[in-house]
Amino acid sequence: MPERSPSFHVSSLPRFHRGWRLFIFYSSALMLTGLVSMLFADLLWRTGWSTSRTVLLVLFVILFLFAAIGCMHGIYGFALRLFGTHQRITQLKNYRDQKIDGISTAIVFPIYNENVRRVYEGLRATYESLEKTGQLERFDFFILSDSTDPDKWVEEERRWFDLIRELDALGRIYYRRRLDNEGRKSGNIRDFLNAWGRRYRYFMVCDADSVMRGETLVDLVKLMEVHPTVGLIQTVPALVNAESLFGRIQQFANRLYAPLFIAGLNYWALDFGNYWGHNAIIRTEPFMQCCDLPQLPGRKPFGGQILSHDFVEAALMLRENWEVWFAYDLEGSYEETPQAMIENAQRERRWCQGNLQHGLVIFAKGLRGVSRLHLILGICGYLAGPLWLAFLLAFNWIRWFQNYTGLSDITVHAFTPYLNLSGTAHAFLIFAICMVVIMLPKILVLIDLANDWPRRRVFGGLARASLSVGGETIFSTLHAPLLMLWHTRFVVTNLLGISVGWATQKRAADGTTWTFALQRHWGHTLIGLVWGAFMWWLDETLFWWFTPMLAGMVLSIPLSVFTSRRSLGIRARKLGFFLTPEETMPPPEITSLRAHLKIQEIVGDTAPRPPHAGVAEAVLDPYVNAIHVSLLREKQLNPVYAEQFSRLGAGTENVRVLGEKLLAEGPDKLSASERLLVMADQSTMVWLHQQSWQRPGESLASWWRAAILEYSRRD
């Protein structure tokens, strides 16, 4: 087993240097913010100071600081890529020759009602890639299911068996479903660690849509071995497999911009990095010792279970003197992205809640300053939306107040007379600086690309990449006001403790339907129209300055529908726009994933299944029933699970009564939780299998008779 946390900290870089890096980096952002804020304050002063202008200035300073920090990540990242740096986990020591014999690593896939087919194909691609390295025997794979949908549960078991048979991976790929969802994803991981954690020196967390290259997995283990003080290494997953226009734009932005930004992030974070919840390797022992998350005091939204566990887990590792690094130059780590704006917003909503909760965690005693910084930056990502909205509203208020009171627009001399600017020119200068701060990283990315011929080629050439950057900028300009409105809503509803349920997206074959887009965006469109009319009434010139923002809102419905279209994404690809390296030169693991998914599509394995198909399989199919029952039986060997079984009521007469009801009246007559309870009871499942085949048809619900008939017709 790995050694306990060292009593002294062995840093790859003296603290003094890291402190300086942090100081220099954030000082740059603060200096830029300070200077531009002075200019802005001066502009406000020229038309007469007021309380509302104070509010506007404060909001400007905060928002500009966010933008400046983003810009600095781009600038520092660009410089580091241009001049090179050795302060990377992959450059500190030679790890390539490190032997990993006898080192055991678990690769875990926590899943929750996911697309089973996609998860398992991702796992297959990772497994096969690892097999090619010749190091497969050092790794075990775990599918850690938290699924609450009985049909998904059965499908997971059935496909797991198919997978292990096809890969001959019995005893290499394991499946475990929890009986309750306590602690959600972090609870799922904790449950795995409590059952098997001590068997593995490291564990690697993958998301449901993750794919990892075998060599990358081996490299990560080697890196952990040569750096005994490192507790966690986070890779930077590349977005892949997007087909819709929205997905491809996000994917392109991720692949083109991320290397610069993460290099900038690594400049100041170094061994005080962060954890993003997946595609990362973790040293098991320290994680088990210090990362079982406590409940936060108070009520929701801040109190209770920590939802966004990853940042907090990294902070807790750092608190115990373990290092956390970004391995941003390791290729072969992939994930997927939502294919439509609405799906993306749904994900943002979940993350928003978790990040806001970090507002409490930042006060936890003993955390490192850098950890607090990571947490604050995460929170700011969501607070920026409401702050931007407040800024716009404050600006509108000032303008309206000016009109309403009939106060003059005449400007006085600036505090900065040396600039010799008119009021309009002064305002334009600030606007231009803001644009430069926002756009500079994108320009630097293109310069970086121009310097790198192989990379330029996989992005479709400099000209196409530049045009794609232009397209992405136009899209993000239209998308940003929608994110602003969404984030504002998420923040406000979360703070008020209101849970906003979102129906599952109704997708047409080619993306979001018009009806669904109308349901989700009518508010945005209305706000855009009303706001636009107000601006026009207030000041026609001003209206034109606001058109990019208003256009995003007014056009939100068609924007949402068209960008979700797969056909448009494919057309853009054919024209050479938004190309990424994984599209132009697909790596073997991604090719394998796509090929398997395509085969399944061709053989009809992707057809939607009728309701309760899983229940029918688990009861009627002799093999699926046998797999299901034997998995339940094996679980009984763990005293924790055995206790959970008895807490659930498995094995009681009540379950048998529910089983009888299931047979006599059909699965529709049982609630989802009742169906789950029946399916968690091994003796009832054996009994159901026997009864369903032995009883005369009249004593079975018509649903069962139809299901049995279906079996007799199957080929």
Q: Which of residues 252-311 bind other proteins (CB under 8 A)?
A: 288-299, 302-303
The residues, any chain, with a CB within 8 Å of residue 86's CB and separated by 6 or more, are 92
Name which of 462 and 626 has its Cβ closer to other proteins: 626
Name which of 157 and 472 has its Cβ closer to other proteins: 157
Q: Which of 377, 357, 188 is nearest to 273 (CA)?
A: 377
Q: Which amino acid is at 372?
A: R
Distances in whole angstroms, Cα of residue 635 to Cα of each of 195, 216, 238, 241: 11, 33, 36, 36
- Check: CB of residue 462 under 8 Å from CB of residue 449: yes
Q: Which of 626, 648, 652, 701 binds other proteins (CB under 8 A)?
A: 626
Tokens of 581: 């390296």
Phi (first) and psi of residue 231, to 5 degrees = -100, -25
Assess 625 for contact with other proteins (CB under 8 A).
Answer: yes
Smallest separation, CB 443 to other proteins (Å) = 39
Q: Which of 538, 288, 568, 254 is nearest to 396 (CA)?
A: 538
**Binding map of other proteins across residues 485-524, x = CB under 8 A, - = no contact:** ----------------------------------------
Q: What does the CA dihedral 372, 378, 381, 383 come to, rounded to 10 degrees?
A: -60
Size of residue set near other proteins by CB under 8 A: 73
**Binding map of other proteins across residues 168-207, x = CB under 8 A, - = no contact:** --xx--xxx-------------x--xxxxxxx--------
Name which of 213 and 689 has its Cβ closer to other proteins: 689
Assess 407 for contact with other proteins (CB under 8 A).
Answer: no
Provide the angle, in degrees to the nearest 10, between the axes of the packed helices 653-665 and 672-679. Answer: 120
The residues, any chain, with a CB within 8 Å of residue 382's CB and separated by 6 or more, are 348, 351, 352, 355, 356, 487, 490, 491
Smallest separation, CB 411 to other proteins (Å) = 18
Tokens of 699: 């004593």
Name which of 106 and 223 has its Cβ closer to other proteins: 106
The residues, any chain, with a CB within 8 Å of residue 602's CB and separated by 6 or more, are none
Q: How far is residue 292's CA from residue 315's CA, in Å, rounded to a whole number? A: 12
Choose one: 80-88, 553-561, 592-600, 624-632; the region binding other proteins (CB under 8 A).
624-632
Q: How far is residue 251's CA from residue 130's CA, in Å, rounded to a whole number? A: 25
Assess 621 for contact with other proteins (CB under 8 A).
Answer: yes
Smallest separation, CB 166 to other proteins (Å) = 12
Assess 363 for contact with other proteins (CB under 8 A).
Answer: yes
Assess 693 for contact with other proteins (CB under 8 A).
Answer: yes
Name which of 553 and 663 has its Cβ closer to other proteins: 663
Name which of 302 and 543 has its Cβ closer to other proteins: 302
Q: Which of 71, 56, 65 is nearest to 373 (CA)?
A: 65
Name which of 513 and 683 has its Cβ closer to other proteins: 683
Q: Give the footprint of other proteins on residues 381-400 (CB under 8 A).
A: 397
- For the chain, how many helices (H) and strands (E)? 28, 12
Smallest separation, CB 287 to other proteins (Å) = 9
Q: Which residue, chain included where needed, has tokens 């602690």?
A: 183
Smallest separation, CB 3 to other proteins (Å) = 17
Q: Which of 394, 392, 336, 381 is nearest to 355 (CA)?
A: 381
Long-range contacts of 431-439 (CB under 8 A, 24+ apart): 433/36, 433/39, 434/36, 434/64, 434/67, 437/32, 437/36, 437/64, 437/67, 437/68, 437/70, 437/71, 438/67, 438/70, 438/71, 439/473
Smallest separation, CB 294 to other proteins (Å) = 4
Smallest separation, CB 52 to other proteins (Å) = 5
Q: Which of 630, 654, 671, 673 binds other proteins (CB under 8 A)?
A: 630
Q: How far is residue 178's CA from residue 592's CA, in Å, rounded to a whole number? A: 30
Assess 167 for contact with other proteins (CB under 8 A).
Answer: no
Name which of 408 and 712 has its Cβ closer to other proteins: 712
Return the biggest CA–CA distance within the chain: 97
Tokens of 488: 């504002």
Q: Which of 22, 421, 572, 620 binds other proteins (CB under 8 A)?
A: 620
Q: Which of 86, 99, 365, 574 binds other proteins (CB under 8 A)?
A: 365
Name which of 289 and 416 has its Cβ closer to other proteins: 289
Smallest separation, CB 711 to other proteins (Å) = 5
Smallest separation, CB 140 to other proteins (Å) = 7
Q: Which of 552, 571, 577, 25 is nearest to 261 (CA)?
A: 25
Helices (H), 227-308: 245-269, 284-290
Name which of 170 and 432 has its Cβ closer to other proteins: 170
Choose one: 207-215, 221-229, 671-679, 703-711; the region binding other proteins (CB under 8 A).
703-711
The residues, any chain, with a CB within 8 Å of residue 419's CB and separated by 6 or more, are 426, 429
Tokens of 570: 């494919």
Q: Give the footprint of other proteins on residues 39-68 (CB under 8 A).
A: 50-52
Assess 16 for contact with other proteins (CB under 8 A).
Answer: no
Q: Which amino acid is at 192?
A: F
Q: Give the footprint of other proteins on residues 126-145 (CB under 8 A).
A: 140, 142
Name which of 368 and 457 has its Cβ closer to other proteins: 368
Tokens of 681: 């009871």
Assess 631 for contact with other proteins (CB under 8 A).
Answer: yes
Name which of 226 and 686 has its Cβ closer to other proteins: 686
Assess 162 for contact with other proteins (CB under 8 A).
Answer: no
Q: Which of 134, 228, 366, 558 binds other proteins (CB under 8 A)?
A: 366
Q: Give the footprint of other proteins on residues 667-686 (CB under 8 A).
A: 682-683, 686
Tokens of 348: 């943002």
Assess 711 for contact with other proteins (CB under 8 A).
Answer: yes
Q: Report, in this order, helix, strand and coil percent for the chain, each rounded to 5.
A: 65, 5, 25
* Helix or strand run (H / E) with residue 232: strand 230-235
Q: What distance lies between CA 99 and its chain's CA centroid?
A: 33
Smallest separation, CB 175 to other proteins (Å) = 5
Smallest separation, CB 461 to other proteins (Å) = 50
Name which of 193 and 330 has its Cβ closer to other proteins: 193
Smallest separation, CB 295 to other proteins (Å) = 8
Name which of 15 and 647 has its Cβ closer to other proteins: 647
The residues, any chain, with a CB within 8 Å of residue 155's CB and separated by 6 or more, are 116, 609, 614
Q: Which of 422, 690, 702, 706 binds other proteins (CB under 8 A)?
A: 690
Q: Which residue, chain included where needed, has tokens 């379950």?
A: 655
